[in-house]
Amino acid sequence: LVTLSNDLARAIFSLTKNELKLLLIAMAQMPKSLKNKNGDYEMQDYDIDAIARQPFYITKRDFMSLGVDSKNVAHDIRMACSDLMNKKVIVQSPFGEREINWTDSVLHFKSASFERLKRKYPDEKYDEEFLKSLKTHDLLDSLNFIANSEDNVIARVVFTRSIIPYICQLKEKFIEVSLSDLYGFNSFYSFRIYMLMMTYVSTGKIYIRLDDFRKMLGLLDSYKSLKDLRKNVLDIGTNEISVKSPY
């Protein structure tokens, strides 16, 4: 389950579909607020700085849970990691537009790197030289995770501190999205339109100015005719949502 503040769901950003999938899978691992017996949300105590330093790991199996073909999954995650550090989101605030980086660090590594080190130092798991080699590969903090899991860990994401309040332990004005509802989405626009829908799910209708819609999806310079926007964005998104999601 992914939770996003309404402000983030309606924010201005443009990502590739694989970049967004990577972020959503990582967000699903975030601590959530829990409902008490009265049905009210209770905020658990948490340290925002600690969560901002916490790495989230994405496996091939995770990516395939969103409908990625097993033959393409390694390539898709590699492409998702390649430029994610440079991607920003612009959130509207009472004081103006706030520009935030999604991630503080992104690492794509192959399990073969870890296996190669194990073969090189078969009896030196805790040897200083072995740990130094792991640190060089930026695998030190994931050593136990890899050693104790049958999953092939191939991506590591750390969110920026600024993005945490929009995705972690939210109590009001937020959406909940199950990753299973997004299974098989092949277009970034399907994800984005679905997120917008969820912020208006209580009314069942969305009224949004065309210029605002273009801005949210980073389309101010693309599909300038309404015909092209409908064909390449709205129809693709709404058709996928109709066929593949609960709505």
pLDDT, tens digit, 9 for 90 and up, residues 193-217:
999 999 998 888 889 999 999 999 9
pLDDT of residue 144: 56
DSSP-derived 3-state class of residue 14: coil
* DSSP secondary structure letters along 96-162: EEEEEESEEEEEE--HHHHHHHHHHSTT-TT-HHHHHHHHHTT-GGGHHHHHT-SS-EEEEEEE-TT
pLDDT, mean of each 10-residue run, the chain (247 residues): 94 94 94 58 64 84 87 85 92 90 84 66 62 58 54 79 91 91 94 94 90 92 93 95 94
pLDDT of residue 44: 55
Token duo for residue 109: 């590594």
pLDDT of residue 5: 94
- If you average pLDDT over every residue of the chain, what do you get? 83
Identity of the residue numbered 10? R
88 contact partners, CB below 8 Å, separation of at least 6: 13, 99, 100, 101, 102
pLDDT of residue 95: 85
For residue 238, what is the enclosing H or E element? helix 235-244
